[in-house]
Amino acid sequence: MGKHIITTRIEHHAVLNTCKYLEKHGFEVTYLDVEKMNIDMLSASAHKLNGPKGVGLMYIRKGIAIPSFIHGGA
């Protein structure tokens, strides 16, 4: 089983506290600082990083506008 977690410094405190707990129990945690990386948008699929299929992430910097693909509906 792998013991390396990659996360960001802007995660919810529930994620960050869990990572801190796991670090104390032998896991290596890498914290990406997306603010310093000057990234506007970032997406990743977990299975490309040896994670489970169907899990991924999408990061959008505050202030970046994304237009709607579908207009209307309920």
Is residue 28 within 8 A of residue 53, CB to CB? The reply is no
- pTM value is 0.61
10 Å CB burial of residue 10 (0-12, 13-18, 19+) is middle
pLDDT value at position 74? Answer: 67
Amino acid at 69: F
Share of the chain above pLDDT 70, in %: 97
